[in-house]
Amino acid sequence: MPRHIAPLAEPFHWLPLLPALLFVPMILLPPLNQDVAAVLQFSERWLAGERLYVDLIDINPPLIFVLNLIPAAISAVTPLGGVLALQVCLFVYGGLCWLLTLRSRDRTTEGPVEQAFLDVLPALFLSCVGYDFGQREHLMALAALPYAIVAARRARGEIPHGRFAIALVAGLAFALKPHFLGIPALVELYVLYAVRRRWVRDPVPWVMAGVWAIYLGSLPLLFPDYISSVLPLVWSVYLDLGGTTVWQVLLTQHLGTAIVLLVPLLWLTWRRRTGPGAMLPSILAIAASAALAAAIVQHKGWRYHILPAQMFICALGGILAAQWFDARQAVLMGSSPGSIAAVLAGLFALYAVSSGEAPWRELNYPTSEVAGLAHLLEDVAPKGRVLALSPDVYPIYPALNYIGARSTLPAMSTWMLQGSYPACLPDGRHYREVWEMGQPELLLYRDVIGDFVRNPPAAVLVDTNTGIPWCGGPFDFIRYFARNPQFSRTWSHFRMTGEWSHYRLYTQSS
C-alpha cells in the first residue's frame, strides 16, 4: 500500500471506527429519510417517462434528480428495490470520499492521535448522520472533507495527491444547493490569502468553477422548464412557506447549540495557530462558519440544514483535541493513540445521537406513521398508483417507496396549495374559482384533475390536516377538486376503505 494512505500498524488503530460501525444499522433500518425517499421516487418517475419540471414539479435544482437516476436505473434492471439500491450507491460514494481523504493527506505532518482520528473521520461523516443519511447536506459534507484536507495542504504551498478528482467530486457536491457555494468561496479566499499568486496556477478552484459553469449553462439547454416554470414558483410561493425570521432561526435548538459550540472552537483555532497542523483546523472553522450562514440564509430552521455545520464543528473539535494530546506526549503514557482517538470518535457519535433522530426513529418504526401507512396501502396499492393529498412529505414518503407504489401528484406534497392559501379569502369563501387562481394553484388543480380522470389511481390517500388555515371550516381536498364535474364523476366510484391517524384511504368500488 502506498505510504501516503497506509494506516498505522498500531494495535488499537481501528478502535475509533467502532462508533461509526454502531451507526450503520441505524442508517440501513427503516425509515428512510422522507426527502431522500421523495427525491428517489421523482427520479424513478422521470426514468419511467414523466417529464421533470413539466409532469414533476419540485423546487430542487436538477442535479440531485440526475444523481438519483443511478439507483433508479439499478432498481429498474436488478432485483434490488429503489431504497436498497440507493443505500448501496450512498455507501459506494462514502467509500470514494473516504479513499480520497486518505489519499490526499500528508501523514508525516500528523501526530499519532490526530492520524488515528483522521483515518476514521470519513466513516463518521458517512454514518453518524442517522436519519439524515442521503440528504443533500450529507452528500455535500462527505465531499467537503477531502476538499478541506486538500485546501489545507494547498494553503501550505503543497501539491496534494488526488486534487483533480477531489475538485471534481467537491464541485458536484457544492452544486447541489446554491447555499453551499459560500463554503468553497470562503475557503478559496483563505487559500488565496495564504499562497498569493500561486493560487492562480492551482487547478482545484478552476476545476470546481468549470463544473459549476457547465452545470449552470446546462439549465437553459436541458432543463428550460426549471427556469421558466419552477423558479417563478419558488419566488412566489415556496420561499415564504414555513419560513421564519433570522432571529427565530438563531434561537432554534440545533442552530443555537451549534453556535455555542463553534464560538469557543473558533477562539482556540485562531488564537495561536502556527505551523503545518494549523491549516486544517482553520479550514474546518471557515467551512463550519459558512455552513452556519447557509443554514441561516435558508430561514427554515430545519435540522438537516444545520447538519454540515455540526459535522464540521465535531471534526474541528476532534482534531483540536487530538493535536492537544499529540503536543503533550506525556499525557499518552499508558494510553495508545488509537484508544484516545476512539474516545474522540465516541464523542462525535454521542453528539450525533443527542442532536439527531437516530436510533429513536428506527426503534419506534413498527408503531410509526410510515409503517401504519405502508400497512394500510400494501393490500390495495402494491406497486400501484396512489393520489396522496397531503401538505407533508412525511410519512407519505417513504411509505410509498416501501410498498413500491407511485404517487400521481405532480409535486411531492400539496405545498403549492398551502402557498396559495396562506390566509382566509376576504369574502369568506373556502376556494377560489378557476379564473381567479394564480399559476401555482392552477397548475396543481389542472394536473391533479387531468391525471385522475384519464387514469384513475388504485387508491386515494387524503390527509385531514391540510396545512391551510381554518376559515369558518376546514379546507377539504376532495371538495376542492370535486367542483370539477369530470373529477366528481370519477370520484363517485371511490369509497372510503381504511383510516390511519389523520389519513383516510379511498379505493374504487367493485
Q: How confident is the model at residue 1, as a pLDDT?
A: 42
Q: Do the bridges between strand 385-389 and strand 459-463 make them parallel or antiparallel, or are there none, so unpaired?
A: parallel
Kindly state whether residues 342 and 377 are assigned to the same domain: no
Cβ atoms within 10 Å of 298's Cβ, excluding its own = 16
- Residues 6 or more apart whose Cβ sits within 8 Å of residue 430: 471, 472, 473, 475, 476, 479, 480
Domain boundary residue among 323, 345, 362? 362
Kindly state whether residues 272 and 379 are assigned to the same domain: no
Kindly state whether residues 252 and 284 are assigned to the same domain: yes
Cα-Cα-Cα-Cα torsion 195, 323, 292, 207, nearest 10 degrees, comes to 40
Share of the chain above pLDDT 90, in %: 73
Q: What is the pLDDT of residues 458-498, one digit of tens each?
A: 999 999 999 999 888 899 999 999 999 999 999 999 999 99
Kindly state whether residues 312 and 378 are assigned to the same domain: no
CA distance 469 to 459: 26
- The answer on pLDDT for 415 being more than 60 is yes
Domain boundary residue among 312, 338, 362? 362
Q: Which residue has the cell 483546523?
A: 281
Q: How confident is the model at residue 13, as a pLDDT?
A: 63
Q: How confident is the model at residue 8, as a pLDDT?
A: 43
pLDDT-derived band at 451 (thresholds 50, 70, 90) equals: very high
Q: How confident is the model at residue 97, as a pLDDT?
A: 97
Query: Is 12 among the domain residues?
Result: no
Q: What is the pLDDT of residues 109-118, one digit of tens each?
A: 999 999 999 9
CA distance 506 to 499: 9
Query: Is 15 among the domain residues?
Result: no
Kindly state whether residues 410 and 348 are assigned to the same domain: no
| Structure-block grid coordinates of residue 367 | 408503531
Q: Which one is predicted more confidently, 233 or 191?
A: 191
pLDDT-derived band at 384 (thresholds 50, 70, 90) equals: confident
CA distance 325 to 281: 15
Q: How confident is the model at residue 301, as a pLDDT?
A: 72
Kindly state whether residues 128 and 250 are assigned to the same domain: yes
Query: Is 4 among the domain residues?
Result: no
Q: What is the pLDDT of residues 348-380, one digit of tens each?
A: 999 988 877 888 899 999 999 999 999 999 888
Kindly state whether residues 137 and 40 are assigned to the same domain: yes
The residues facing 406 across adjacent strands are 385
- The answer on pLDDT for 51 being more than 90 is yes
Q: How confident is the model at residue 476, as a pLDDT?
A: 94
Query: Is 3 among the domain residues?
Result: no
Q: How confident is the model at residue 330, as a pLDDT?
A: 52
Instruction: Please tell me whether residue 409 adopts helix, strand or coil conformation.
Output: coil
CA distance 407 to 400: 7
Q: Which of 423, 387, 420, 424 is CA-nearest to residue 406?
A: 387
pLDDT, averaged across the chain: 90
Kindly state whether residues 281 and 393 are assigned to the same domain: no
Kindly state whether residues 352 and 375 are assigned to the same domain: no
| Structure-block grid coordinates of residue 185 | 468561496
The domain total for the chain is 2
Sheet of 503-508, strand order: 406-407, 385-389, 459-463, 503-508, 494-500
| Structure-block grid coordinates of residue 360 | 429513536
Query: Is 8 among the domain residues?
Result: no
Query: Is 5 among the domain residues?
Result: no
Domain that holds residue 185: 20-362
Q: How confident is the model at residue 252, as a pLDDT?
A: 77
Kindly state whether residues 120 and 253 are assigned to the same domain: yes
**Cβ–Cβ < 8 Å for 284, 316:** yes
Instruction: Please tell me whether residue 212 adopts helix, strand or coil conformation.
Output: helix
Q: What is the pLDDT of residues 80-100, one digit of tens each?
A: 999 999 999 999 999 999 999
Kindly state whether residues 281 and 427 are assigned to the same domain: no
pLDDT-derived band at 197 (thresholds 50, 70, 90) equals: confident
Domain boundary residue among 362, 378, 398? 362
Kindly state whether residues 352 and 440 are assigned to the same domain: no
